[in-house]
Amino acid sequence: MAAAGPGEPGEPGPAGSRAVVAAAGPGEPGEPGPAGSLRRCLARLGALRARPDGGRRTELHLLFDQLISESCGPEPAAAPGPQDVCAVLVQACQLVPLDQEHLVSKVCQLIHHLLNRYQVMVDEQNLDFLLSYCISALRQCSSWTHVEILQALAALVYNNGPKCQKFLPDLLGQAGLLLQFSDPGQPDVELRRAAVRSMANLCLSVPGQPYLDESYRIVCFQTFLSVLQSSKTTDVDDITFCMLLQSALKGVQSLLNGGKMKLMQIDQIGALLAVLKKCMFHGLPGLSIEVPTALYPAPLPQYDKRSPAKQEQSEPATSKQTGSRRKRCKGKQKKGEFGEEGREDSGDAGNESVLGADMLKLQLGDVQSSPCPEPRPGVCAGKDPPSSQPWKRFSSSESEYSDTEGGIQSKVRSYQANVRQGALACFLSTIKSIEKRVLYGYWSAFVPDAPGIGSPQSVSLMTIALKDPSPKTRACALQVLSAFLEGSKQFLSVAEDANDHKRAFTPFSVTMASSIRELHRCLLLALVAESSSQTLTQIVKCLANLVSNAPYSRLKPGLLTRVWNQIKPYISHKDVNVRVSSLTLLGAIISVQAPLPEVQLLLQQPSSSGLSSSGSATPGREQRRRAVPWAGESPQDSPAGCAPPEPCWLLHLCVSLIVLPREDSCSDSDSFPSLGSVYEPCPLRLEALQVLALLVKGYFPVAQSYFLGLGEVACRCMEEMDPSIQLHGAKLLEELGTGVLQQHKPDSPTAPEQRVPVSVVVTFWTMMLNGPLPGTLQNSPHATLQTSACDALSSILPEAFSLLQGDQQILCVTLLLGLNHSENPLVKAAAARALGVYILFPCLRQDVMFVADTANAILNSLQDKSPNVRAKAAWSLGNLTDTLIINMETMGQSFQEELSDLLLLKLLRSATEASKDRDKVKSNAVRALGNVLHFLQPCHVANPRFREAIEESLQALIATVGSEATMKVRWNACYALGNVFKNPALPLGEAPWATQAFSALSSVVKSCKNFKVRIKSAMALSIPSRRECYGSTEQFCQIWSALVVALQRSEDTEDFLEFKYSSSLRTQLCQALLHLLRLARSTDLPLLGGSLREHGQAIRPYVLQYLSSSGEESEAGGHTDLGERQRGLQGAIDHLGGIERELQGKARVSVSLFLEDVLTHHTNATELAEA
Write out pLDDT tens, residues 1085-1101: 888 888 888 888 888 88
| pLDDT at residue 398 in the model | 43
Query: What is the structure's pLDDT at 295?
Result: 86
Q: What is the pLDDT of residue 701?
A: 92
For the ranges 341-350, 833-842, 1089-1098, the maximum mean pLDDT occurs at 833-842
Instruction: Name the β-bridge partners of 1091.
Output: none
pLDDT at 450: 76
Chain centroid offset of residue 967 CA = 26
Please tell me the predicted confidence (pLDDT) of residue 50. 55
The predicted-structure confidence for 351-408, as pLDDT tens digits, reads as follows 333 333 343 333 333 433 344 444 444 333 333 333 333 333 343 344 445 556 678 8
pLDDT, greater one: 399 or 1146:
1146
Residue 891's pLDDT band (cuts 50, 70, 90): confident
Angle between helical axes of 867-891 and 848-861 (0-180°, round to 10): 160
65 pLDDT band, cuts 50/70/90, is: confident
Confidence of residue 62 (pLDDT cuts 50, 70, 90): confident
What pLDDT score does 1169 carry?
66
SS3 607: helix
CB atoms within 10 A of CB 1087: 18
1122 confidence band (pLDDT: 50, 70, 90): low
User: Which pLDDT band holds residue 436 (cuts at 50, 70, 90)?
Assistant: confident
What is the band of 325 on the pLDDT scale with cuts at 50, 70, 90?
Answer: very low
- The predicted pLDDT at position 664 comes to 62
Worst-scoring range by mean pLDDT, 379-383, 496-500, 986-990?
379-383
Task: Read off the pLDDT band of 213 (50, 70, 90).
Answer: confident
Sequence-distant (≥ 6) Cβ neighbours of residue 83 within 8 angstroms: none
Cβ burial 562-581 (10 Å sphere, 16+ → b, else e)? bbbbbbbbbbbbebbbbbbb
- Lowest mean pLDDT of 6-15, 309-318, 464-473, name the range: 6-15
Helix/strand/coil percent split, the chain, to 5 = 70, 0, 30
What would the mean pLDDT of 109-131 be, rounded to a whole number?
90
Instruction: Tell me: pLDDT of 668 over 60.
Output: no
Percent of the chain with pLDDT over 90: 48
- Coil vs helix vs strand at 952: helix
Mean pLDDT of the chain: 80
| Average pLDDT over every residue of 459-483 | 94
Beta carbons of 263 and 272 less than 8 angstroms apart:
yes
Q: What pLDDT was estimated at residue 501?
A: 62
Q: What region, left, alpha or beta, does residue 635 occupy, with left being phi > 0 and alpha being psi -120 to 50 degrees? A: alpha
Q: Which residue has the higher pLDDT, 1157 or 1004?
A: 1004
Answer whether 1074's CB lies under 8 Å from 1020's CB.
no
Give the pLDDT of residue 520.
95
CB-based contact 895:845 (threshold 8 Å): no
Residue range 1121-1149: mean pLDDT, rounded: 72
Predicted confidence (pLDDT) per residue in 927-951, tens digit: 999 999 999 989 888 888 899 999 9
Average pLDDT over residues 484-496: 92
pLDDT of residue 607: 58
pLDDT single digits (tens) 408-428: 888 999 999 999 999 999 999
Among 396-405, 793-802, 818-827, where is mean pLDDT lowest? Answer: 396-405
Give the pLDDT band (50/70/90) at residue 628: low
Task: Inform me whether the pLDDT recorded for 696 exceeds 80.
Answer: yes
Ranking 141-150, 348-357, 1150-1159 by mean pLDDT, the lowest is 348-357
Question: Which is more confident, 851 or 648?
Answer: 851
**pLDDT confidence bin for 555, thresholds 50/70/90:** very high
Q: Is residue 616 over pLDDT 80?
A: no
DSSP, collapsed to helix, strand or coil, labels residue 303 as coil
Q: How many CB atoms lie within 10 A of CB 350?
A: 14
Which is higher by pLDDT, 457 or 709? 709
In angstroms, how far is CA 614 from the centroid of its own chain?
Answer: 33
Q: Residue 885's pLDDT is what?
A: 92
**Per-residue pLDDT at 257:** 86
**Residue 642: pLDDT over 60:** no
Closest CA to 775 of 696, 826, 720: 720
Pick the residue with more confidence: 266 or 472?
472
pLDDT at site 386: 37
pLDDT given at position 452: 62
Q: How far apart are CA 307 and CA 301, in angstroms?
A: 19
pLDDT tier, 775 (very low <50, low <70, confident <90, very high otherwise): very high
Residues whose CB falls within 8 Å of the CB of residue 404, separated by 6 or more in sequence, listed in order: none
Pinpoint the alpha helices (H) of 820-942.
Answer: 825-838, 842-845, 848-861, 867-891, 893-898, 901-914, 919-935, 938-942
- pLDDT confidence tier of residue 146, bands split at 50, 70 and 90: very high
- Answer for the pair 1158, 1103: CB distance below 8 angstroms, yes or no: yes
In the chain, the amino acid numbered 997 is A
From the list 1073, 1079, 1064, the residue with the least C-alpha distance to 1120 is: 1064
Tell me which range, 327-341, 843-857, 1140-1154, is most confidently predicted by mean pLDDT.
843-857
Average pLDDT over residues 581-589: 96
Confidence band, pLDDT 50/70/90 cuts, at residue 963: confident
Average pLDDT rounded to a whole number, residues 245-264: 84
Higher pLDDT, 322 or 262: 262
Residue type, 535: T
Higher pLDDT, 1027 or 312: 1027
Higher pLDDT among residues 983 and 46, named by residue: 983
Arithmetic mean of pLDDT, 115-124: 88
Q: How confident is the model at residue 314 (pLDDT cuts 50, 70, 90)?
A: very low
Residue 576's pLDDT is 94
- Identify the pLDDT of residue 309: 40
More confident residue, 266 or 156: 156
More confident residue, 67 or 577: 577
The burial of 1135, by beta-carbon neighbours within 10 Å (0-12 exposed, 13-18 middle, 19 or more buried), is given as middle
The pLDDT assigned to 1109 comes to: 76
**Would you state the pLDDT for residue 644?**
45
